[in-house]
Amino acid sequence: MSIFVNKSTKVLCQGLTGTQASFHIKRSLDYGTSVVAGVTPGKGGSLHLGLPVFGSVQEAVRETKASASIMYVPASHLKLAVREAIEAELDLAVSIAAGVPLKDMLEIKAMLKGSKTKLIGPNTPGIITPDEARLGIFPIDIHTKGHIGVVSRSSTLTYDAVLEIKKAGLGESTVIGLGDDILIGVDFVDVLREFHRDAATKAIVMIGQLSGAFEEAAAEWYKSQTHKKPVIAFIAGEAVPFGHNMGYAGDVITNGYISVQDKKDALIDAGMIVVNHINDINLALADLQ
Amino acid sequence: MNIHEYQAKQILNNCGVKVPAGCIAYTPSEAVASARKVSQRGPWVLKAQIQSGARQQGYFLGDKSGLGGIRVVNSLRRIKKEALAMLGQRLVTIQTGPAGKTVNKIYVEAFQKVKRVFYMALTVNSLDAAITLLVADVRDGDILKLALNNPEEILHLPLDLNNSVSQEQLQTIMSFLHLPQRCFNNLENLVRGLQKTFLDLDASMIEINPVGLAPYGELWALDAKISFDDNALFRHPDIMRLKDECEFDPRELAAQRFKFTYHEFNGAVGCIVNGDGLALSAIDLLKDNSSGAACFINVKGGVDKDKIAQGIKLIMTNPRVEGILLNILGGFVRCNLIADGIVAAAAEVGLNVPFVVRFEGTNKDMAREILENSHLPVIWADNLSDGVNKLLQAIREAV
């Protein structure tokens, strides 16, 4: 078991014919991901990496029954790409695009509301269920199948968290990068909820960050649950002086001034295990057993 | 990206927001001419144009008067004197750091008499994914103090993406601030103007601190700050041109040209990373064990080795850096391209300090081979804690 994607998830790729897409889709195919189609407007009817290319998502879905999309489209095209995914009623869309305009994301979030499509990202390494499916840009040789769910706001620290799990002799059920933009698709609460429903996930590693109030929302949700799976949490940024522009200025006035310590306190209060350094995760995992 | 107050006021004024008459000046005599242009008689307000809040409470380096960057002046003779005291000098505020920022221009405004002031801003609430109007009855201008101590005294109104502020919402603001009914239309113009500016120009934050209520119910933007969404600047070349390079450290500016981010701190270690999370966790760990980080560069998803080399050079040539910690976890970024960048940068500027490297992920074996073949004195690390320990030890031994 896993969440969102597994080996039978049929995946299409929006923007398949680009250079970065080709590099990473080839790796995903080698990994065993069931990529069944590509979509590039204007290039329908051709073959790329042995995959049929369609002119629209709807056409690709009709022909291949794909239910998830990995999008290698530039930030400026994301809104159109997500609209297509929503109209084709995909379950999942994953965007790795960096630098998506805030206003576009406001519009994307409004479109997603009331649709059946879930968006992971943008600006994320994506989602990987070890040995089953890789949608994104994750390194291919660091994951092991196992029972730890990973969810992270920081792309690069996700890899560090996975290496810590390996060091503890464990593996992952599913690993998800939420992306660290001001606005994101699925958030901690959405993913924690799925991990709690997933029989294969026994414990969760959660990597938060300085800005936004997603960690506080996660703490609130977790606190309200009666059946809790253990969550090991880490938040970087304690040593960064306040106002150093690493966070989002609007946060302070919108949510009050929240320091890393405040966030940690909220998570501890909710019952999570909070570690001070990323390399303490493997010890915390060992303690669980 | 931030812009200056005078630029923000002009933009807001184009969208229907009332601002006092003003004119920019680069020299004391221009300040006098500007004053004549905006008003027949005083008082005038001289406002130092640096991109920082709390200019009024600031002070100029080496100036015994202790006067701040906002000064109300009654005579033209006095304008020349005050402009002379501010121009070319460094203004220090709680936001600029101890070095302050050089004042290169002054905005000269007609003094606007008001009965009271309040705070108004537009920002994005990330949890609700909505543009939010913030209103507060802050008479001393200190919104941060209020946000810290009495956050419940700030009114939050989510605004619709496609429709103007509603009549009910305006009425809510009216009663929240106890504004006289004759203000209603002026309030509507003000909020609509802010909303239009925010949406049309892809702002990420607009702050009017304060709005002034004049005797006849007019509402004036007495100060203005606009931050634009960097990711949307490609849609606004006219806004991009307003970027003031004097506001940045030269290294920060150079990094921006390659779409990297660069930050400086007070310690002695330079960090090269490919994610803010990696940078933050390195800074935390360095702070716990040493004087901390000197600077970091985040090469983000960089896959152009020439740009990477230019970025790495910024760290190698920083005189405060006594050792370098490179921590790359390749996903999109390919470790081998980073290794190529290191070799190219070192060939150009030399590598004279201990250099600890950790590669993980995409093409890390290729990267290791490149550095080993280069014969650069690289210390290899397995993870962040290991890297920090090895680097701090090497720095101690080098002294």
Same domain, B77 and B140: no
Same domain, B255 and B394: yes
H/E stretch holding B390: helix B384-398
Domains and CATH numbers, chain A: 1-122 (3.40.50.720), 142-289 (3.40.50.261)
> Amino acid identity, residue B261?
T
Residue B356 gets which letter from DSSP? E
Q: What would the pLDDT profile of A38-78 be if each residue is shown by its tens digit? A: 999 999 899 999 999 999 999 999 999 999 999 999 999 99
DSSP letters spanning B177-200: HT--GGGHHHHHHHHHHHHHHHHH
The answer to whether residue B2 sits within a structural domain is no
The CATH code of the domain that includes B158 is 3.30.470.20
Q: What would the pLDDT profile of B161-215 be if each residue is shown by its tens digit? A: 999 999 999 999 999 999 999 999 999 999 999 999 999 999 999 999 999 999 9
Q: What would the pLDDT profile of B360-399 be if each residue is shown by its tens digit? A: 988 999 999 999 999 999 999 999 999 999 999 999 998 7
Q: Is the pLDDT of residue B316 over 80?
A: yes
Interface probe, candidates A253, A257, A274, A276, chain B, greatest B C-beta count within 10 A: A253
Label residue B228 by pLDDT band (50, 70, 90). Answer: very high
The answer to whether residue B245 sits within a structural domain is no
Domain termination site, one of B55, B80, B110: B110
Domain termination site, one of B110, B136, B164: B110
Q: Is the pLDDT of residue A249 over 70?
A: no
Per the listing, tokens 């807001």 go with B12
Least Cα separation, residue B101 to chain A (angstroms): 16
The answer to whether residue B14 sits within a structural domain is no
Q: Do B277 and A240 touch (CB under 8 A)?
A: no
Same domain, B203 and B226: yes
Domain enclosing residue B216, as ranges: 116-239
Same domain, B94 and B50: yes
In three-state form (DSSP H/G/I as H, E/B as E, the rest C), the secondary structure along A170-186 is: CCEEEEEECCCCCCCCC
Least Cα separation, residue B33 to chain A (angstroms): 37
- Work out the average pLDDT over B116-127: 92
Label residue B47 by pLDDT band (50, 70, 90). Answer: very high
Q: Do B277 and A153 touch (CB under 8 A)?
A: yes
Of A254-258, A270-274, B350-354, which has the strongest mean pLDDT?
A270-274
The CA–CA distances, whole Å, from A54 to A38, A65, A172 equal 6, 13, 34
Q: Do B147 and A252 touch (CB under 8 A)?
A: yes
Q: Which tokens is B298 given?
A: 């985040």
B278 contacts in chain A (CB < 8 Å):
154, 156-157, 160
Same domain, B215 and B355: no
Q: What would the pLDDT profile of B90-112 be if each residue is shown by its tens digit? A: 999 887 878 889 999 999 999 99
Q: Which tokens is A48 given?
A: 């790329």
Q: What would the pLDDT profile of A99-145 be if each residue is shown by its tens digit? A: 999 999 999 999 999 999 999 999 999 999 999 999 999 988 899 99
Same domain, B75 and B138: no
Between A242-256, B64-78, B373-387, the lowest mean confidence (pLDDT) is in A242-256
Please say if B119 is a catalytic residue.
yes
Same domain, B134 and B226: yes
Same domain, B24 and B68: yes
Label residue A247 by pLDDT band (50, 70, 90). Answer: very low
- Out of B119, B188, B247, B322, the active site residue is B119
Per the listing, tokens 């030890």 go with B393
- Mean of per-residue pLDDT scores for chain B: 92
The answer to whether residue B9 sits within a structural domain is no
The answer to whether residue B89 sits within a structural domain is yes
Q: What would the pLDDT profile of B328-341 be if each residue is shown by its tens digit? A: 988 778 899 999 99
The CATH code of the domain that includes B328 is 3.40.50.261
Between A244-248, B37-41, B94-98, B106-110, the lowest mean confidence (pLDDT) is in A244-248
Q: Do B231 and A102 touch (CB under 8 A)?
A: yes
Least Cα separation, residue A149 to chain B (angstroms): 19
A106 contacts in chain B (CB < 8 Å):
124, 129-131, 161
* Nearest residue of chain A to residue B335 (CA atoms): A139
Interface probe, candidates B231, B360, B363, B390, chain A, greatest A C-beta count within 10 A: B231
A109 contacts in chain B (CB < 8 Å):
129
In three-state form (DSSP H/G/I as H, E/B as E, the rest C), the secondary structure along chain A is: CCCCCCCCCCEEEECCCCHHHHHHHHHHHHHCCCEEEEECCCCCCCEECCEEEECCHHHHHHHHCCCEEEECCCHHHHHHHHHHHHHCCCCEEEECCCCCCHHHHHHHHHHHCCCCCEEECCCCCEEEECCCEEEECCCCCCCCEEEEEEEECCHHHHHHHHHHHHHCCCCEEEEEECCCCCCCCCCHHHHHHHHHHCCCCCEEEEEECCCCCHHHHHHHHHHHCCCCCCEEEEECCCCCCCCCCCCCHHHHHHHCCCCHHHHHHHHHHHCCEEECCHHHHHHHHHHHC
Of A99, A152, A252, the CB nearest to B231: A99
The CATH code of the domain that includes B27 is 3.30.1490.20
CA dihedral of residues B282, B101, B44, B222 (deg, nearest 10): -10
Q: What would the pLDDT profile of A67-101 be if each residue is shown by its tens digit? A: 999 999 999 999 999 999 999 999 999 999 999 99
Distance CA B140, CA A176 (A): 45
The answer to whether residue B383 sits within a structural domain is yes
> Amino acid identity, residue B278?
L
Please say if B207 is a catalytic residue.
yes
The answer to whether residue B264 sits within a structural domain is yes
pLDDT score at B149: 83
Task: Pick the closest to residue B277 from A76, A70, A24, A260 (CA basis).
Answer: A260
The answer to whether residue B15 sits within a structural domain is no
Positive/negative CA dihedral, B315, B318, B321, B322: positive
Say what the pTM is. Answer: 0.91
Same domain, B230 and B271: no
Per-position b or e across A121-136, b if 16+ CB within 10 A of its CB: bbbbbbbbbbebbbbb
- Looking at chain B, the whole-number percentage of residues with pLDDT higher than 90 is 72
> Amino acid identity, residue A69?
S
Same domain, B101 and B137: no
Q: Do B285 and A20 touch (CB under 8 A)?
A: no
Same domain, B219 and B87: no
Domains in chain B, number = 3
Least Cα separation, residue A194 to chain B (angstroms): 19
Same domain, B104 and B157: no
The A residues from 243 to 282 touching B (CB cutoff 8 Å) are 243-246, 248-257, 276-279
Check if the beta carbon of residue B4 is closer than 8 Å to that of residue B24: no
A237 contacts in chain B (CB < 8 Å):
280, 283-284
Calculate Rg over the CA atoms of chain A: 19
- Out of B207, B247, B262, B322, the active site residue is B207
Label residue A245 by pLDDT band (50, 70, 90). Answer: very low
CA dihedral of residues A213, A216, A217, A223 (deg, nearest 10): 180
Of B232, B274, B383, the CB nearest to A102: B232
Domain termination site, one of B182, B210, B239: B239
